Amino acid sequence: MQGSLPPEAQEKIEELQDLQETTEQLAAQKTQAETSLNEAQTALEALDDIDEDTTMYREIGELLVHTDYESAKDDLEEKVDSLEVRVDQLEKREQKTQEQFEELQEELQQMLQGGEGGGPMGPGGPGAGA
């Protein structure tokens, strides 16, 4: 079917496929960032129930390293802040990409509808209504 489409329509279809793939990638990245954000927020909330003198450890790769309450809290707050920014940026990029997808889809539909039967022998061509 695509072989019979005009080159401009084929290009728009390829662009649509690229935008759809980009949107899916952004959605996956956003989901991952939201999961990390929820985990960091949960950990930060859990700190409220912990005595500041409690011995604490921080996971760094395969190691657990001793840390103090304030450092742990500061690190988690910083992580939450940066993840909130990341999720917000991904939402905006996802929305913009979706808008581009919808605009391109509309252009393609207009192109194809405008091209349907638009040849000299199609509707409105010579002999129409005779």
pLDDT digits (tens, 9 = 90+) for 53-73: 999 998 999 999 999 999 999
Predicted confidence band of residue 9 (pLDDT cuts 50, 70, 90): confident
Q: What is the mean pLDDT of residues 93-110?
A: 92
Output the six-digit token pair for 74: 């500061």
CA triple 105-95-81, angle to 5 deg: 165
- E strands in 13-130: 56-60, 63-67
3-class DSSP state of 65: strand
Structure tokens given for 118: 């638009």
Whether 130 shows a pLDDT value over 80: the answer reads no
Report the alpha-carbon angle 32-37-40, nearest 5. Answer: 130
* pLDDT attached to residue 115: 57
